[in-house]
Structure 1
Amino acid sequence: MKVPVSVIRLPRGPNGTSRGFDPSSPRYQALSPMSISTVGPGKEGHLEQEQQGRVALRERYLHSLLAMVGHLVHFTLYERVNVSALFDASDIDILNFQVSDLQTPLGVHREALLRCSDIIAYTFEL
């Protein structure tokens, strides 16, 4: 029999809206639009090609997220922790995954939120 485990609520993020990002963090700086240089001779063609590549990769990733909904997903986390859960949704920034029936080494969580920064890899079957 699976043992239910209580959910731990995390404190609010630094901006008070519970999103939890820090504008001075290296990740935020790398993802900001200002980090992409659009000025310079000969960079227009290269920039357009890079943007098209990013668009294609983003679309494929979003389609894979849609395909995961309702499926059992196996997550590999840091420290060799492997967990499984039914994938439900992702937030708009794809920083967190909302899952249900999370099976951990300590027990089963009915609902949980996984931070994408803690996930090394995940797999699922179609």
Structure 2
Amino acid sequence: MMRMPVSVTCLPHGPDGTSRGFDPNSPRYQALGPSSISSSNPDTALDLSREQQARLVLRERYLRSLLSMGGREVHFALYDKVHVAALFGASDIDILNFQVSNLQTPLGVQKEALLRCPDIISYSFEL
């Protein structure tokens, strides 16, 4: 059996033509990079701490809602004004897909399905 060579994908060159990645002088890099967070300024550090705390609370609430949805009927609002309902089963580790059962769609019932999270506008369920 002859082995086939596989090409290696290389990262594209950066803006200066020799480096790989973002130009450290670009507005995007400065806005997203660690240098944009100045720990020497106490007001900035305090704002960052508040923002991180708020994100922590929101993330924890979201994960708790996923745990609470297990085995319950969940109503999903999708794009193009489509509304469906299903029994929630699970989410993948990246929370990109929801596995549902008995998906009630305008065209009928699907026994098992995967809903892509980017297609979902909102969801609701009763506790």
| Fold equivalence (TM over 0.5) | yes
Question: What is the aligned partner in structure 1 of residue 46 from structure 2?
Answer: 45
Q: CA deviation at 1:94?
A: 1.3
| Residue 40 (structure 2) pairs with residue 35 (structure 1) | no
Q: CA deviation at 1:45?
A: 1.7
Counterpart mapping for 1:104-119 below 5 A: 104-119=105-120
- Report which of the two structures shows the higher radius of gyration computed on alpha carbons: 2
Give, in whole Å, the separation in 1 of the partners of 2:49 and 2:91.
28
Tell me, what secondary structure is at the counterpart of 1:79?
coil
Give, in whole Å, the separation in 2 of the partners of 1:84 and 1:59.
24
Distance 1:45 1:78, change over 3 A: same
Give, in whole Å, the separation in 2 of the partners of 1:96 and 1:49.
30
Counterpart mapping for 1:1-126 below 5 A: 35=32, 37=34, 39-40=37-38, 41-42=40-41, 43-126=44-127
Q: Any unmatched runs of 5+ in structure 1?
A: 1-33
How many residues are matched?
93
Give, in whole Å, the separation in 1 of the partners of 2:96 and 2:87.
17
Tell me, what secondary structure is at the counterpart of 2:80?
helix
Distance 1:68 1:116, change over 3 A: same
Distance 1:63 1:35, change over 3 A: same
TM-score (norm 2): 0.67
Distance 1:118 1:46, change over 3 A: same
Q: CA deviation at 1:109?
A: 1.1
Identical columns (%): 62
Q: Any unmatched runs of 5+ in structure 2?
A: 1-30
- Letter of the 1:86 counterpart: L
Tell me, what secondary structure is at the counterpart of 1:49?
helix
Question: What is the aligned partner in structure 1 of residue 3 from structure 2?
Answer: none
Q: CA deviation at 1:36?
A: 6.3
Instruction: Map Cα deviations across residues 6-34 of structure 1 (whole Å, 9 max, x no partner).
Output: xxxxxxxxxxxxxxxxxxxxxxxxxxxx9
Instruction: Map Cα deviations across residues 38-95 of structure 1 (whole Å, 9 max, x no partner).
Output: 5324222211111111001111111111111000001110111111100011111211
Runs of 4+ displaced beyond 3 Å: 34-38
Higher-RCO chain (CA-CA 8 Å, sequence separation at least 6): 1
